Amino acid sequence: MQTAAVLDTLGGLIAHLKVYAAKLPPIVHLSAVPTGVKPKFEAVEEYEDIVSRFRSQSTGTAYKSLNELFVESLEAFEVGRLLGSVQPLLTVLDYLERMQRDKEIEIGRIDDKRTSEYRATLNKILPGNKPELDGAGRGL
């Protein structure tokens, strides 16, 4: 398995998160918190397919340890926990950077750019990352 395949997996999952995040209201009322605002069944199935495909391809590779993080993201996505879906994927990016730094894997220039773009996209999905709110809450 190549690093590009891992990044393809991340890209697929991030695409689902972006679609889901765009459909969420800017403010989720407390009455909706226990059940959350869940993604469509089809989206969950596609997310699960991506994770399952990665799990089968990563067996016996240096990327096998990422399986747990992808499953954690899937489980959070299934119940509509956006933050719980994003955090494990950010951890995957951290793990890939550590592997590159420790010379366990090589990440080419194009894949390095993808990694940066994915991190930026995930950070934008996180609640509270709205540029129009900069300065809000700082008082007068």
**Which residues span the domain enclosing 54?**
3-128
- Does residue 76 form part of some domain? yes
- Does residue 113 form part of some domain? yes
pLDDT confidence tier of residue 132, bands split at 50, 70 and 90: very low
- Does residue 108 form part of some domain? yes
- Does residue 135 form part of some domain? no
Question: What are the pLDDT digits (tens) for 10-22?
Answer: 999 999 999 988 8
- Does residue 64 form part of some domain? yes
Measured distance CA(64)–CA(70) in Å, rounded: 10
Measured distance CA(77)–CA(49) in Å, rounded: 13
- Does residue 133 form part of some domain? no
Question: What are the pLDDT digits (tens) for 83-129?
Answer: 889 999 999 999 999 999 998 888 888 989 999 999 999 999 886 65
Helix, strand, coil tally for the chain in percent (to 5): 70, 0, 30
- Does residue 138 form part of some domain? no
Question: How far apart, in Å, are the Cα atoms of 15 and each of 8, 35, 46, 53, 139?
Answer: 11, 23, 11, 16, 36
Give me the number of domains the chain comprises. 1
> The tokens 């869940």 sit on which residue?
38
- Does residue 30 form part of some domain? yes
